[in-house]
């Protein structure tokens, strides 16, 4: 499918969904400063928009924040729409500098519907050490199904970060990865789930850090982690 086109060439239902997702993604960006996950203009949220006419996902789009815009200035209209090649399809501003990483993740993980990147303090501190966050809390077992893994060092600008995200998360139940010397990226069924994972990642990073100041956190048995994860993912909630 050629990407030398505009949003007008996509199905009407998809254009309507893009408009809805722009509202959703704009609103979810407000959660990042609310939970103190970002400073200044750093960080980004995106959500996939599926093309009903191409089931394999190759013609999907995603909505993401523009680069270098204050969180106070973000609106649904300022969100940009990109193809899975990371090319700008619609919007008046350049897309986020992390767009290539989001695009690669959507391309290679078809089940992923949302991606978030932050530089939240405690999670990024673990990333700076290149150290995974060990699973020593029931909350971690619930949400991450084990430790929060570390991905390889990669320079921003091409799909290197995306490759590291996909490679690391393909081998883990965790929806979060700490990219070495960079910070956390999280995935989810949609952007809201990915934002939740980012909030939870920072919370457990902080808690385990504090625990280690007091002594050695107690390890959890693998079978207990598995049981907690299965219950939380399949039974917990409404």
From residue 132, alpha-carbon distances to 58, 145, 152, 200, 202 in Å are 32, 13, 12, 15, 13
Residue 16: count other Cβ atoms within 10 Å of its Cβ. Answer: 11
Q: What's the CA gap between 82 and 64, in Å, rounded?
A: 8
- The band of 237, judged by pLDDT with boundaries at 50, 70 and 90, is low
Q: In the predicted model, what is the mean pLDDT of residues 108-136? A: 98
- Of 39 and 3, the one with more pLDDT: 39
CA–CA separation, 106 and 68 (whole Å): 22
CATH number for the 7-233 domain, one of 3.40.190.10, 3.90.870.10, 3.40.225.10, 2.170.130.10? 3.40.225.10
Mean pLDDT of the chain: 96
Tell me the CA distances in angstroms from 10 to 5, 7, 25, 90, 104, one per residue in order.
9, 6, 20, 12, 21
Judge residue 160's burial from the number of C-beta atoms within 10 Å of its C-beta, 0-12 exposed, 13-18 middle, 19 or more buried.
middle
- For residues 181 and 110, what is the distance between their CA atoms, to the nearest angstrom? 27
pLDDT score for 1: 42
- Residue 157 clears pLDDT 90, i.e. is over it: no
Q: In Å, what is the CA distance from 196 to each residue of 4, 9, 114?
A: 35, 33, 11
> Tokens standing for 105?
């993740």
pLDDT reported for residue 158: 84
CA 151 distance to own-chain centroid: 14
Q: Indicate the length of the chain as a whole number.
A: 238
Give catalytic residues, as residue numbers.
117, 119, 142, 182, 236
**pLDDT for 64:** 98
C-alpha 169: how far from its chain's center?
Answer: 11
What is the rounded distance in angstroms from the CA atom of residue 205 to the CA atom of residue 56? 36
**Averaged pLDDT for residues 13-32:** 98
Q: What is the pLDDT of residues 72-108, one digit of tens each?
A: 999 999 999 999 999 999 999 999 999 999 999 999 9
Hey, where are the domains in the chain?
Answer: 7-233
Q: What one-character-per-residue DSSP string does 32-62 give? A: HHHTT---TT--EEEEEE--TT-TTSTT-EE
Query: CB–CB of 146/172 below 8 Å?
Result: yes
Judging by DSSP bridges, how do beta strands 150-151 and 61-64 pair with one another? unpaired
pLDDT in tens, 35-71: 999 999 999 999 999 999 999 999 999 999 999 999 9
Q: How far is CA 127 from the centre of its chain?
A: 16
């Amino acid at each position: 499918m050629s990407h030398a086109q505009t949003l007008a060439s996509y199905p009407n239902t998809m254009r309507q969904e893009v408009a809805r997702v722009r509202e959703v993604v704009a609103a979810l960006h407000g959660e990042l400063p609310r939970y103190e996950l970002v400073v200044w203009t750093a960080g980004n949220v995106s959500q996939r928009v599926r093309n009903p006419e191409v089931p394999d996902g190759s013609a999907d789009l995603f909505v993401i924040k523009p680069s270098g815009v204050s969180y106070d200035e973000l609106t649904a209209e300022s969100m940009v729409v990109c193809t899975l090649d990371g090319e700008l399809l619609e919007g008046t501003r350049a897309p986020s500098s992390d767009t290539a990483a989001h695009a690669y993740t959507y391309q290679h993980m078809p089940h992923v519907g949302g991606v978030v990147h932050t530089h939240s303090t405690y999670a990024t501190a673990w990333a700076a050490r290149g150290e995974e966050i060990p699973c020593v809390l029931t909350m971690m077992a619930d949400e991450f199904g084990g430790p929060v893994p570390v991905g390889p060092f990669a320079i921003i600008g091409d799909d290197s970060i995306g490759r590291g995200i996909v490679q690391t998360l393909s081998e883990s139940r965790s929806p979060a990865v700490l990219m070495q010397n960079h910070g956390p990226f999280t995935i989810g069924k949609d952007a809201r789930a990915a934002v939740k994972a980012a909030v939870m990642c920072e919370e457990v990073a902080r808690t385990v850090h504090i625990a280690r100041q007091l002594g050695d956190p107690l390890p959890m048995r693998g079978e207990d982690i598995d049981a907690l994860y299965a219950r939380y993912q399949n039974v917990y909630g409404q």
